[in-house]
């Protein structure tokens, strides 16, 4: 399996892929400051990216993970393996993907990123392109994609950004999760932490044997459920071990059928 090789005497041909115009602008402006980089194009969606990678064979791609339709992983899976370039992943809040990048030691940028972080990532990417044997980066990347085809691996921690701080919460410590617009409130004891993610998005990343949707805006850790009490019209009050009282909507009762041996 061969990836495009880099001539150390030439500029690194680079492609920017992101569905957000402002995000593309930021990456392009930062790349323009590096004389070793040649930006050969920009793509606003996954299909455009596949076509340009196949046609232009860039050596480096700044690839947004979460795009409507064909996402970043889908792009790489559709590209001919011989044309897969070096990749810097860009993500706003994909917790599982972030964990995977760290495990596989791949470069990534977590939005919003500062110039210092961008420059560090770019320097690492250039160093890899110069020093790795031809095909080594591609093989490493494809091993990550192959891993996504194996048994589902669920999220083990949340990465929380608060002002300039980044800290981590163990998923098993969470009592319940509440939707708040385009964000989620992660409840642990008496604390609540804001995470930029959707309820549908986070539900697919959590082990369904541990976290159950009991309402369109509520996920609960089943290990924290203390009591279920009938309310009205088929709804129930869910009391947690910390005293929190939540509502189990009638339309989600079957989600707890295994826990209650089908008695609800």
Evaluate whether the domain defined by 12-148 bears CATH number 3.30.70.600.
Answer: no
Q: 76: Cβ–Cβ under 8 A, 6 or more apart, which residues?
A: 63, 84, 87, 141, 145
DSSP state of 254: G
| Nearest alpha-carbon partner for 88 in 67, 116, 119 | 119
pLDDT in tens, 64-73: 988 878 888 8
Domain range summary for the chain, segments of one domain joined by +: 12-148, 158-256
Closest CA to 88 of 146, 30, 134, 47: 30
Q: State the pLDDT at residue 100.
A: 53
Per-residue model confidence (pLDDT) at position 103:
46
User: Could you give the CA distance from residue 47 to residue 138 in angstroms, rounded to a whole number?
Assistant: 20
Q: pLDDT per residue over 45-103, tens digit each?
A: 999 999 999 999 999 999 998 887 888 888 888 888 777 888 898 887 656 556 556 54
What superfamily in CATH does domain 158-256 come from?
LytTr DNA-binding domain (2.40.50.1020)
Intrachain domains 12-148 and 158-256 with the same fold:
no
Mean pLDDT of residues grouped by 10 in the chain (264 residues)?
Answer: 55 95 96 96 95 94 86 84 84 62 63 90 89 58 55 76 83 95 92 89 86 94 93 89 93 75 60
Which residue's structure tokens are 């795009």? 67
Cβ neighbors of 3 (< 8 A, separation 6 or more) are 82, 83, 84, 85, 86, 134, 135, 137, 138
């Amino acid at each position: 399996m061969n990836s495009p090789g880099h001539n150390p005497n030439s500029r690194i041909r680079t492609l920017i892929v992101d569905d957000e115009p402002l995000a593309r602008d930021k990456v392009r402006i930062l790349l323009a400051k590096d004389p070793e980089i040649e930006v050969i194009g920009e793509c606003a969606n996954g299909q455009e990216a596949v076509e340009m990678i196949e046609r232009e064979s860039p050596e480096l791609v700044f690839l947004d993970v979460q795009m409507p339709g064909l996402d970043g992983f889908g792009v790489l899976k559709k590209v001919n393996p011989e044309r897969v370039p070096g990749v810097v992943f860009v993500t706003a809040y994909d917790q599982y993907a972030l964990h995977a990048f760290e495990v596989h030691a791949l470069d990534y940028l977590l939005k919003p990123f500062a110039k210092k972080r961008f420059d560090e990532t770019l320097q690492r990417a250039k160093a890899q392109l110069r020093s790795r044997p031809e095909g080594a980066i591609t093989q490493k990347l494809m091993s990550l994609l192959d891993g996504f085809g194996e048994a589902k691996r669920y999220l083990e921690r949340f990465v929380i950004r608060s002002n300039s701080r980044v800290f981590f919460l163990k998923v098993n410590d969470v009592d319940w999760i509440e939707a708040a617009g385009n964000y989620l409130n992660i409840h642990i004891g008496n604390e609540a932490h804001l995470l930029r993610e959707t309820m549908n998005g986070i539900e697919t990343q959590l082990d369904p044997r541990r976290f159950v949707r009991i309402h369109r805006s509520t996920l609960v850790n089943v290990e924290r459920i203390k009591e279920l009490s009938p309310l009205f019209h088929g709804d129930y009050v869910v009391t947690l071990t910390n005293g929190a009282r939540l509502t189990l909507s009638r339309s989600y009762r079957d989600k707890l059928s295994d826990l209650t041996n089908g008695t609800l």
